[in-house]
Structure 1
Amino acid sequence: MNRLLYVEDDELLREVTTLALESAGYDVVQTSNGVQACALLEGEGFDYVVSDISMPGGVTGLEVAVAAQQAQPGCRTILVSGYARSQLPELPANAHLLAKPYMVRDLVTALDAPSAGAAPAA
């Protein structure tokens, strides 16, 4: 199964990336904020979670990553951000960082990377 939860508040970016991920063989469920993402994580199974770190609505991507690991230990979690790594707080365990802007092929590479490896960082 390649079920992926994609959390991004930028609607255009979310739609374009979802189409590209679906073309790459992922079954994508998308949402625009962390509150919705956490609700989905409680009730549905995902192999992957990709979330922007900075989002409106009171729940950040960091919190989504923690919720993902609690609900589904072992799911591959990629956090994306336009901020430099040095500007971000410590990432949750098992979460990998992908710098914005990124190409979809970079995201797919990060998703396919071995669990012990790190995704490209800022």
Structure 2
Amino acid sequence: MAWASSQAKLLISINPPERVGKLSARNFGEVDLTKSPEGRTVLVVEDEPFVRMIAAGMLQEGGFRVVEAPDATEALDLLERHQVAVVFTDINMPGLIDGLQLAAIVKERYPHVKVIITSGRQWLGSDALPSDSVFLPKPYRSAELSELVERQASRSD
């Protein structure tokens, strides 16, 4: 079980030591993401490397393939190259595009891609989110994240 929170900069993770290597952000490069099952690839966009690694690990444990980006610019580049079902993005990120702006761009350019927005600094109601996006506050649990991603990936609207 793991909890991730960028606001408090505290992470509590209970993983067997032999699993730690599988959480590495670099290991996803061994997977041919162009052949991943439809609806199972998640793009995690988070500027805090450790929080991004934990979120990616949670999703991998849930059976998802994961692509990672440290900012919105790289996320948009990855969306051009990979079939992604769900974008999971933090709101506060460096650069010219924050998570809310990224979500709006994703919905405009890739209407089939579902978006989950997260933050430990603010709480957003559905009226503040881009259409068809959902909000998951930090800290979140592995089961919460995986269930929400599965629900979003399964939507066909």
Residue ranges of structure 1 left out of the alignment (5+ in a row) = 117-122
Question: Any conservation in 1 of the 2:85–2:113 contact (CA below 8 Å)?
Answer: yes
Alignment of 1:64-79 (within 5 A): 64-79=102-117
Instruction: Output the CA distance in 2 between the equivalents of 1:102 and 1:72.
Output: 26
Alignment of 1:56-71 (within 5 A): 56-71=94-109
Question: Any conservation in 1 of the 2:58–2:146 contact (CA below 8 Å)?
Answer: no
1:109 aligns with 2:138: no
Q: Please say which structure displays the higher CA radius of gyration.
A: 2
Render the CA deviation track for 1:68-121: whole Å, top value 9, x for unaligned.
2233212221000111226xx8211111000111112111121122649xxxxx
1:85 aligns with 2:127: no
How many residue pairs get aligned? The number is 115
Residue ranges of structure 2 left out of the alignment (5+ in a row) = 1-36
Q: CA RMSD in A?
A: 2.1
Question: Any conservation in 1 of the 2:90–2:99 contact (CA below 8 Å)?
Answer: yes
Instruction: Output the CA distance in 2 between the equivalents of 1:33 and 1:69.
Output: 17
The structure showing larger relative contact order (alpha-carbon pairs under 8 Å, at least 6 residues apart) is 2
Identical amino acids, percent of aligned pairs: 29
Question: Any conservation in 2 of the 1:80–1:100 contact (CA below 8 Å)?
Answer: yes
1:40 aligns with 2:78: yes
**Which of 90, 97, 105 is residue 52 of structure 1 equivalent to?**
90
Render the CA deviation track for 1:27-80: whole Å, top value 9, x for unaligned.
100011111111222332211110001111111111221222233212221000
Amino acid aligned to 1:76: K
**Which of 21, 26, 29 is residue 64 of structure 2 equivalent to?**
26
TM-score if structure 1 supplies the norm length? Answer: 0.83
Larger displacement relative to structure 2 (62-71 or 47-56): 62-71
TM-score if structure 2 supplies the norm length? Answer: 0.66
Instruction: Output the CA distance in 2 between the equivalents of 1:35 and 1:74.
Output: 20
